[in-house]
Amino acid sequence: MQIFDGTKRMAATAVVLTMFLIAGGCGQKPTGGPPQGPPEVAVVTVQPKRLVSTTELTGRTSAHRVAEVRPQVGGLIQKRLFEEGSDVKAGQVLFRIDAAPFQAALDNAKAALGRSEANLSAIRSRADRFRELLADNAVSRQDYDDAAAALKQTEADIQYWKATVETARINLGYTSITAPISGRIGRSNVTEGALVTAHQPVALATIQQMDPMYVDVPQSTTEVLRLRRSLEDGSLSRNGQLRDKVRLLLEDGSRYSKEGTLQFRDVTVDPTTGSVILRVVIPNPKGILLPGMFVRAVVEEGVNEHALLIPQQGVSRDPKGNPYALIVDAGGKVRQRMITLDRAIGDAWLVSAGLAPGERVIVEGMQKVKPGVSVKAVPFEASPEKNGGAQKKAAPTAGKTGGK
């Protein structure tokens, strides 16, 4: 009986302790901080600004003038008078052809001219005497006609040999092959002793004038039509200060120090690429640009006086790929705006439709909010650590919010 009573007392004690613990637990107050406020987001206020519209195109350089040096008379090359790869001046002698045969031809023509001129005086005097005698019927008409014809023939021979002398003199001058333009000459295709012919298809050497240089870049007809529409509807304008300036980026990504000018747009579309050629003229005083070099040309197209730019991180896309932005309205609530993007300008998007000046676009904290939610908007600041604000961060007061 005692064992049974002890067991009952232990069970009763356990029940009392359990109830006491439960009662104590129910009486505790919940722990935690103060209630959370509206989420913070970083915003930028859309303001129109003046923007010079540019387009970046790839192309290749070419020499401003190219001259292929060819002989105008045939003969043996006696001497080469230039250093390959050097700069030459217009009129500088580059090659000499053996001039002996051409000097002999000139001397022969001069001798024939002298012979004809020596006979001219006697033949003219004979014709004059026959004309006087013909009036007295002292000579026959036939004799006078023969004398007059001989005079005309001699005069014609003189003109012929004068032309022959001039031709021989020109050919003799062609034995010295000169540079037609100033520029840099390449390698020689012939050496001393080579036999060349007049107007042969293979050039002896090639001269290229490389200051200034041409840059030929293709532009798609789609871009040409877009630019034309922008100019017609007034979204782009051209003033006196904008003269189709062009900047170059070299193959290593560095910027070329000189600015070029857009000379013309070709009027013929390449059917294989659907593009037209833009020709740029750019100074090259130090010879940095070489013919055939790959470059990128940044062409100024016009001025947008009311451009709306927002950071690229402030643009999202729906499941269909359409771009949209989240804005904070005057009541502090999030609204979704479908927008139309024109192009990327650095680390920003140029917006052509969907936003109005003065609206606040969310650029950080977008993943924590949705349309209709009340938020606390804080200023958005550009980070000075990266080029031109390519990396963005919120103001110090928004340090706890997440960024996108």
Higher pLDDT among residues 115 and 262, named by residue: 115
Boundary (domain end) residue, out of 206, 223, 249: 206
* pLDDT at position 375: 83
Within this chain, do residues 228 and 262 fall inside the same structural domain, yes or no?
Answer: yes
Within this chain, do residues 191 and 314 fall inside the same structural domain, yes or no?
Answer: no
Domain annotation covers residue 217: yes
Mean pLDDT of the 132-146 span: 82
pLDDT in tens, 95-112: 999 999 999 999 999 999
Mean pLDDT of the 259-286 span: 84
Within this chain, do residues 234 and 339 fall inside the same structural domain, yes or no?
Answer: no
User: With b meaning 16 or more CB within 10 Å and e meaning fewer, what string describes 346-370?
Assistant: ebbbbbbebbeeebbbbbbbbeebe
Domain annotation covers residue 221: yes
* pLDDT at position 177: 94
Please state the domain count of the chain.
3
Domain annotation covers residue 10: no
Within this chain, do residues 245 and 267 fall inside the same structural domain, yes or no?
Answer: yes
Within this chain, do residues 76 and 159 fall inside the same structural domain, yes or no?
Answer: yes
Boundary (domain end) residue, out of 305, 323, 338: 305
* pLDDT at position 236: 55
pLDDT-based confidence at residue 240 (cuts at 50, 70, 90): very low
In terms of residue numbers, what domain contains 379?
A: 40-50+306-398
* pLDDT at position 399: 36
What is the C-alpha to C-alpha distance for residues 211 and 153, in angstroms, rounded to an integer? 55
The CATH number of whichever domain residue 76 belongs to comes to 2.40.50.100
Domain annotation covers residue 12: no
Mean pLDDT of the chain: 80
* pLDDT at position 396: 37
Contacting residues for 345 by C-beta, under 8 A, at least 6 apart:
51, 309
pLDDT at 330 over 70: yes
Q: Does pTM top 0.75 for this prediction?
A: no
- Percentage with pLDDT > 70 across the chain: 81
Contacting residues for 121 by C-beta, under 8 A, at least 6 apart:
none
What is the C-alpha to C-alpha distance for residues 177 and 194, in angstroms, rounded to an integer? 14
pLDDT-based confidence at residue 28 (cuts at 50, 70, 90): very low
Domain annotation covers residue 30: no
Boundary (domain end) residue, out of 206, 236, 269: 206
Within this chain, do residues 277 and 354 fall inside the same structural domain, yes or no?
Answer: no
Q: Are 77 and 177 in contact (CB under 8 A)?
A: no
Within this chain, do residues 157 and 130 fall inside the same structural domain, yes or no?
Answer: yes
pLDDT at 208 over 80: yes
pLDDT at 37 over 70: yes
And the tokens for 259?
A: 């600015």
Within this chain, do residues 78 and 193 fall inside the same structural domain, yes or no?
Answer: yes
pLDDT-based confidence at residue 392 (cuts at 50, 70, 90): very low
Within this chain, do residues 362 and 336 fall inside the same structural domain, yes or no?
Answer: yes
Q: What is the 3-state secondary structure (H, E, C) of 103-123?
A: HHHHHHHHHHHHHHHHHHHHH
Within this chain, do residues 77 and 200 fall inside the same structural domain, yes or no?
Answer: yes
Higher pLDDT among residues 160 and 272, named by residue: 160
Within this chain, do residues 84 and 120 fall inside the same structural domain, yes or no?
Answer: yes
The phi-psi region of residue 146 (left if phi > 0; otherwise alpha if psi is between -120 and 50; otherwise beta) is alpha
